[in-house]
Structure 1
Amino acid sequence: MRPVPASRVLLLACLTAGLAWCGLFPGGLRAAPRLPQPRNFTRSAHLMGSHFTFTAVSADDSLAWRAIRAGIREAQRIDRLCSYWDSTSQITQVNRAAGIRPVVVDQEVFDLIRRTLKLSELSGGAFDITFAGGEKIYTFDRQEHAALPAPEVVKASVARINYQKVLLDPATHSVMLQDKGMRINLAGILQGYGVRRAQALMKQMGIQGGLINGSGDVSCWGKQADGSLWRIAIGDPAFPQSVSSWLTVTDVAVVTAGNYEQYFTVKGQYYGHIIDPHTGYPATGLRSVTIICPDVELADGLDEVVFVKGPEQGLAFINGLKGVDCTLITNDGRTLASKGMQLNYYHSMGAPASQTPTTP
């Protein structure tokens, strides 16, 4: 076989390169196809008795919708497992057996209850899932009431509230409520847990940026489709449907709880629906609490702790925690913030334009 002259090798290489480039431009030289660009895909759902919004950032619309549907199903699964209102849930089974026998629950449920008890201990009982055993002696109807219930009635209403009487057996992962009439309700932390689990599932499926909002329990990761971080607004209790401040964040949870939609007044004094489990009286002093930390489940529980402790003690409690910040709005309209908190405040009632996500 004769060797090919170097001049012919060079000519063949040029011809081959020419043929390759011909497909890249118009009129014989075609442009390279554009890669799909990421977009924000959003869907809403009614879950755990609240309004949820799921946003996935992806260049693959099929993947985005699959991940969102998976996140919704995960929240639904957790609700069926842990709902206080579902007659078949494991929490209902524990409550039915109060004072009688322990109930074996899934490891997942056992671990969740154990974490709530650790938060109860950390907060000195300000957070307590046995609040469900308290008597309902208030009507939060936004009306003026003549007086608070009698002190003996208030005291009796919290007689069955005591997180220390939730007995856990790690060997059998069983739960028992020590006294008859006790009940547990995970409502103070369940939405945050649902958001956390749904987010983990969506990330596992390949969604590198997204945001889940479970009725004020927000957790975000990655970036928006345009490359920007997530802007989380904090409402103004004095002006419904308005915004007092905002944060620009990623890979963090921002959980806001308000005490101004369910309330009553006595002689002009405002009483919100969050009850101090120690005293039986509504927690006073705060209208809104926003917690910022990496774990949305923890943030969901901490907002209630701060409400119960009140402005000064609540702020001091958060300042003593590592990696957690908060901002508070008091009954008299003051905004307080923890030592590491950085907020952007609105100087007018108008909110800046935000990116509109794609919806199905």
Structure 2
Amino acid sequence: MGSLAAGLLLALGASPALAQPRAAPRPRAYTRSAHLMGSAFTFTAVSADDSLAWRALRAGLRETWRIDRLCSYWDSTSQVVKINRLAGIRPVVVDQEVYDLIQRTLKISQLSGGAFDITFASSDKIYHFDKTEHASLPDSATVHRSIRRIGWQKVRLDPATHSVFLPEKGMRINLAGILQGYGVRRASEIMKKMGISGGLINGSGDVYCWGKQPDGSGWRIAIGDPARPHTVSSWLTVSDLAVVTAGNYEQYFTVGGKYYGHIINPHTGYPATGLRSVTIICPDVELADALDDAVFVLGPEQGLALINRLKDINCTLITDSGQTLVSKGMQLNPYHSAAPAAVAQPKPKS
């Protein structure tokens, strides 16, 4: 977009005494997109300073890329891969940042009764989420066997050495359930410190916004309708909040017409059922990123009960039957054709 700042032009030969002060530049939104952490990220900065905005966007992007390299499940040089490679062999000394992040995930596991569990990566791959109809689910013995190494309680942390140890060979951790949220949080912190007073970062369903849009209004965030992909079911206007959505309508298979999504219950080994979409709203995008998976696994009743116990955290859920449920502090605006759709509509996380 071109700059909206405008200055008054002096007529040729006009007296300097008649010159008017130049109007202050008006803020506008600058946007940059990138493929990070296996997903599409969009960074938006609101500023009246072109140079500052572009520097901040580059800094936010670089920080997210750095975190991806540090904690990736796939990058052979990451510290997470090293932890997994040495499972059952010896502890791995990691950066304080990685140690602290893993420690926070274990606290969320405890809070959710194990519904969120980074050791889910220890499970055997027995499902194919190919959006097709399958004849049946795997047999119960196969499912039970697939989760035998899962268990967040097994992860051993040593605060004295900042080491992480997985005691069983074949155990693995994967921070995918929280890493995008952490990346968005760190990127936004850096952009704020650089002087960006308003912005929005969308990490493929993990949205955090702060400040205002260029016109002074809040950020309008849309929540998708699982029954009709690429459409909006409701929206809300927020600032200084995270809105994080997880859904099972991007990666799934069906059996007898019933949907089975890619979010696995670590206790049972079966895909979590009962919900099509979970949206968490809270000030901390990292926490919201983990809680949406936890609520998905817990299901409608237990999931709502968990959120209703937590301060300053709300959620909206869409059940398998299409019913919309909200936590006790949540207010949504149902979408209809009269409401303008100038919104950020995040895809559910993969």
Match of 2:22 in 1: 33
The alignment partner of 1:313 has SS state of helix
Match of 1:192 in 2: 181
1:243, 1:351 within 8 Å by CA — same for their partners in 2? Answer: no
In structure 1, C-alpha distance between the alignment counterparts of 2:45 and 2:34, rounded to whole Å? 14
TM-score, normalization: structure 2? Answer: 0.93
TM-score, normalization: structure 1? Answer: 0.90
2:90, 2:165 within 8 Å by CA — same for their partners in 1? Answer: yes
Tell me: CA distance 1:24–1:145, structure 2 relative to 1, closer, same or farther (3 Å).
Answer: closer
Give the alignment of 1:300-315 within 5 angstroms.
300-315=289-304
Please, which of 101, 107, 120 is the counterpart of residue 118 of structure 1?
A: 107
The alignment partner of 1:101 has SS state of coil
For 1:261-305, what per-residue CA distance to the aligned partner results, in whole angstroms no more than 9, with x for missing partners?
111111112111100000000000111100000100000000000
Please, which of 75, 94, 104 is the counterpart of residue 83 of structure 2?
A: 94
1:192, 1:296 within 8 Å by CA — same for their partners in 2? Answer: yes
The alignment partner of 2:73 has SS state of coil
1:352 partner letter: P
1:158, 1:277 within 8 Å by CA — same for their partners in 2? Answer: yes
Match of 1:227 in 2: 216
Quote how far apart the aligned CAs of 1:312 are. 1.1
The alignment partner of 1:130 has SS state of helix
Match of 2:207 in 1: 218
In structure 1, C-alpha distance between the alignment counterparts of 2:336 and 2:209, rounded to whole Å? 26
Identity of aligned residues (%): 75
2:200, 2:208 within 8 Å by CA — same for their partners in 1? Answer: yes
Quote how far apart the aligned CAs of 1:354 are. 2.2
Asked if residue 319 in structure 1 is aligned to residue 276 in structure 2, the reply is: no
1:172 partner letter: T
For 1:122-159, what per-residue CA distance to the aligned partner results, in whole angstroms no more than 9, with x for missing partners?
10000000000100111111111111111010000000
Structure 2: gaps spanning 5 or more residues: 1-7, 345-350
1:302 partner letter: L
2:342 partner letter: S
- State the superposition RMSD in angstroms: 1.5
Tell me: CA distance 1:208–1:100, structure 2 relative to 1, closer, same or farther (3 Å).
Answer: same
For 1:18-75, what per-residue CA distance to the aligned partner results, in whole angstroms no more than 9, with x for missing partners?
xxxxx99874312111111111111111100000000000000000000000000000
Match of 2:287 in 1: 298
Structure 1: gaps spanning 5 or more residues: 1-22
The structure with the larger Rg is 1
For 1:230-286, what per-residue CA distance to the aligned partner results, in whole angstroms no more than 9, with x for missing partners?
111111111111111111010111101111111111111211110000000000011
Tell me: CA distance 1:184–1:228, structure 2 relative to 1, closer, same or farther (3 Å).
Answer: same
The alignment partner of 1:193 has SS state of helix
Name the count of aligned residue pairs. Answer: 333
1:24, 1:32 within 8 Å by CA — same for their partners in 2? Answer: no
The alignment partner of 2:188 has SS state of helix
In structure 2, C-alpha distance between the alignment counterparts of 1:355 and 1:33, rounded to whole Å? 33
Quote how far apart the aligned CAs of 1:347 are. 2.7
2:119, 2:152 within 8 Å by CA — same for their partners in 1? Answer: yes
Asked if residue 135 in structure 1 is aligned to residue 124 in structure 2, the reply is: yes
Please, which of 49, 66, 78 is the counterpart of residue 55 of structure 2?
A: 66
2:185 partner letter: R
Please, which of 325, 328, 346 is the counterpart of residue 336 of structure 1?
A: 325
Match of 1:180 in 2: 169
1:325, 1:338 within 8 Å by CA — same for their partners in 2? Answer: yes
1:32 partner letter: P
Match of 1:264 in 2: 253
Asked if residue 153 in structure 1 is aligned to residue 168 in structure 2, the reply is: no
Match of 1:247 in 2: 236
In structure 2, C-alpha distance between the alignment counterparts of 1:353 and 1:313, rounded to whole Å? 32
In structure 2, C-alpha distance between the alignment counterparts of 1:162 and 1:125, rounded to whole Å? 8
Quote how far apart the aligned CAs of 1:215 are. 0.3
Asked if residue 352 in structure 1 is aligned to residue 340 in structure 2, the reply is: yes
